Amino acid sequence: MMWPILWLAVFLPCLLGRTIEEGEVILTPHGMGMHASERIVIPVTDGLLPPLPCVMHEAGVHDHGSSFSKGNFHYLCNNGTAEVMACVSEDGSVIQLGRTFVKNGIRHKCNVAADTVTYEQESMCYENGVHYNVGDSFRNGSFKLTCRDEGVAIDGCYLQNSIYDVLQVGESRIVGHYRHECEQIISGKVRYTVKVIGCVRDDEVYNINQIFTDRHVRYQCMQDGTLQVLGCVDNGLFVELGRDLLMDGLLHRCYKVDRTTFYHKFPCETSLAECIANSITPRV
pLDDT in tens, 66-76: 999 998 999 99
- Cα separation, 239 vs 243, in Å, equals 6
pLDDT over threshold 60, residue 10: no
Over residues 253-261, mean pLDDT: 90
The set of residues, in sequence order, having a beta carbon less than 8 Å from that of 230 and lying 6+ positions away, is: 211, 218, 219, 220, 240, 241
- Give the pLDDT of residue 39: 77
Domain boundaries, the chain: 20-123, 134-196, 207-278
Residue percentage of the chain with pLDDT more than 90: 36
Note the pTM of the prediction, 2 decimals: 0.51
Between residues 271 and 13, which one has the greater pLDDT? 271
Over residues 129-138, mean pLDDT: 90
pLDDT over threshold 80, residue 43: no
H or E stretch at 273: helix 272-278
